[in-house]
Amino acid sequence: MVKITNDKRQTTNDVLFSFAKKYIPGGVNSPVRSFNAVGSSPVFIKQAKGSEIYSEDNRVFIDYCMSWGAIILGHAYPEIIKELNRAVKNGTSFGIATRLEIELAGLIVKAAPSVEQVRLTNSGTEAVMAAIRLARAYTKKDKIVRFQNSYHGHADYFLNCEGVPLNFRKHTLTAPYNDIKKTKELVNRHKRGIAAIVVEPVAGNAGVILPEKGFLQGLRKLSDRYGIVLIFDEVITGFRISYGGAQGFFNVKPDLTCLGKITGGGLPVGAFGGKKEIMKLLAPIGPVYQAGTFSGNPLTVTAGIVTLKALKKLNPYKGLEKKTKRLCDGIISRAQDHGVKLKVNNIASMFSVSFEDTELFKRFFHGLLKRKIYFSPSMFETDFLSIAHSDEDIDKTLGAIDETLKELRRG
């Protein structure tokens, strides 16, 4: 247990961060948590319930990060906690097949229009890695097409950073998102070598960029024309913008789908699935190897089953969309009142707020944090609502935004 110093000149978060940096590179286990993008030490959270998170220094925030979209029923949803308490008494991990895995897989297959079979993993990154491997085996080709500013996890062929061999990068082609003309030109130049086109149907890691009319349909036609596997990365959008995900919302069927976040009800999860003719290439019935000790973990699948069943029963999507729109419209209205230029993107229960000046975003973020509102600490990330967010939460948030924008106007 980290012992907190009595030095009144340092906050609890500062002390925890200094300890964290001694034992963890950069003090965090995922870079965006460091608050580098907003120029401060991170907040450390000890508890969450409903729409709120509780920090180690005993502040309570209305949360719009919601574990980066994984929490749609609200933190510590009572039915999930009850079932997890029951499941944990039976053991935390078996590494052996369970009845629960079948139930969650069945729920996913019935929900996602294009998924005939599904394999569970431990993260969205793993899911996308496996989907790419399957596409390459199915097509006997190597190259993949991705889109600028998209994020599909931290596999080598999706990153341009130190430690990634050039041989990996040469197989990855990049096109501008929402530009079907330039995508066609790129594919035409490399059509004989392209195994897959992988796309976030809504670019959630670039500030909630919606697909323009005909873009996803154009990718489907392009893939069909050249025998390319179309992969939808629905790690964020799966069960978020509709029960059938983005493919159900936009009525476009990919060949393979990658899932995560909501699928695990707040526990670590990933999944990939699609046509049987592609999925049958997986070991143990096919030559494509993929495995994981904790894949289909009994606790994860328990939380996932409760979550998907609740979403099916409650069908909260219209209500979530209405609340999110009220929040987004309120942000835009107050920005106009104060003469502050910002941009709000929104679909379903996803939204983002961005500024042309990154310094303005930093001040906006900290202005809200000071007023006990937690937005994601990067203007290129997505914020989310859950069914636990109340009208009172939105009213409080809009009040905090009004005061913060007033401060920004004064400089």
3-state secondary structure of 138: helix
Q: Annotated catalytic, 261?
A: yes
> Does 151 participate in catalysis according to the annotation?
yes
Burial 365-377 (b: 16+ CB within 10 A, else e): bbbbbebbbbbbb
Pairwise CA distance, residues 25 & 380, whole Å: 23
The distance between the two most distant Cα atoms of the chain, rounded to a whole number of Å, is 67
| Other Cβ atoms within 10 Å of 8 Cβ, number | 6
> Would you give the distance in Å from CA 164 to the centre of its chain?
23
Spatial separation of the C-alpha atoms in residues 397 and 62, rounded to whole Å: 8
Task: Supply the Cα-derived Rg of the chain in whole angstroms.
Answer: 22
Dig out the tokens for 274 from the structure.
Answer: 């699609």
Q: Among 240, 234, 235, which Cα is nearest to 72's?
A: 240
Calculate ∠ Cα 239-94-88, nearest 5°: 70
Cβ atoms of 226 and 194 within 8 Å: the answer is: yes
Helices (H) and strands (E) in the chain, counts: 13, 14
| Single-letter amino acid code for the residue at 119 | R
Q: Which residue in the list 233, 255, 383, 393 is annotated as catalytic? A: 233
**How far is Cα 76 from Cα 72, in angstroms, rounded to an integer?**
11
Q: How far, in Å, are 165, 209, 248, 306, 383 from residue 177 at the CA level?
A: 25, 9, 20, 35, 20
CB neighbour class for 313 (10 Å; exposed up to 12, middle 13-18, buried from 19): exposed
User: What is the β-pairing status of strands 350-354 and 256-260?
Assistant: unpaired
Task: Single out the catalytic residue among 141, 143, 253, 261.
Answer: 261
- Positions marked catalytic: 151, 233, 261
